Amino acid sequence: HYKLMQYKRILLKLSGEALMGDRQYGIDPERLKDYAEEIKSVVDQGVEVAVVIGGGNIFRGVAGASKGMDRVQGDHMGMLATVINGLALQSACEDAGMETRLQSAVKINEVAEPFIRRKAMRHMQKGRVVIFGGGTGNPYFTTDSAAVLRAIEIEADVILKGTRVDGIYTSDPEQNQDATKFDAITFDDVLKRGLKVMDTTAFTLSQENKLPIIVFDMNTSGNLHKLISGKNIGTKVNL
Ligand code: UDP
């Protein structure tokens, strides 16, 4: 069945900020519902889906530290924020008719399974959407790093970074009208041109492990399905 699909196992990275929709803070239930529908459209095709979700809509450790809070304390709050978002996405996915598991990198056993690689892979083989919360479980890291780490661990074919822009541009398209979009670009070129795709730690980890990244617009309905079917949308970063 999934021979028609370009990818068999994907890791989808969603930022916390994306969950805000048009709000200033927190979670927009409509946006959550849209995301669940997008995910369902590829799960229904037999694609195995894992999701790493950010926490920026609730708390960022660096933001706390800039106001005098201890960085590690703030990062712990950020990690818990990703668990909150994970729970929200989990329930939206179940409402949409999918089976899911939430695995957390920080122990919170009454709320989520602990991250266990083999279990995560087994869930995916059974068609369950696995949501990874808690980031990497360590302060000073981001959920982009968590996304790359988990993608490598579970042997995902690709990491799909859903954003509100539709790919990687020569410069910030929201600032510069002349910016043009790349259909594909190499890891080396991204670094040479000083483009921002992910933070350096995450980006390097992806490069070293030959894990392609696709940046695409997750807020246009149908895009995830198009990508999985091999349509050339977004920008692919490859070796
Ligand atoms: N965080 C962390 N370790 C991790 C992942 C996340 O400490 O491995 C904390 C960190 O404080 C970060 C916050 O969780 O600011 C939210 O994650 P992130 O900023 O990556 O979320 P996004 O920008 O994707 O919403």
Mean pLDDT of 24-47: 97
Burial of 65 (C-beta count, 10 Å sphere; 0-12/13-18/19+): middle
pLDDT for position 2:
46
For the chain, the distance separating the N- and C-terminal CA atoms, rounded to the nearest angstrom, is 29
Question: Per-residue pLDDT for 1 more than 50?
Answer: no
Query: Which range marks the domain in which residue 95 is found?
Result: 2-238
Among the atoms of ligand 1, which is closest to the Cα of residue 13? 24
pTM, 2 dp: 0.96
For ligand 1, atom 9, the nearest C-alpha belongs to 78
- Give residues (CB < 6 A) around ligand 1: 15-17, 54-56, 60-62, 74-75, 78-79, 81-82, 135-136, 138-139, 141-143, 145-146
- pLDDT for 148-190, tens place per residue? 999 999 999 999 999 989 999 999 888 999 999 999 999 999 9
CB 126 within 8 A of CB 105: no
Q: Would strands 48-53 and 129-133 be described as parallel, antiparallel, or unpaired?
A: parallel
Mean pLDDT of 89-116: 98
The total number of structural domains in the chain stands at 1
- CATH number of the domain encompassing residue 197: 3.40.1160.10
Average pLDDT, the chain: 96
C-beta atoms surrounding 155 within 10 Å: 13
Measured distance CA(199)–CA(141) in Å, rounded: 9
Mean pLDDT of 46-57: 97
pLDDT for position 196:
92
CB 150 within 8 A of CB 86: no
pLDDT for position 3:
52
ipTM over 0.95: yes
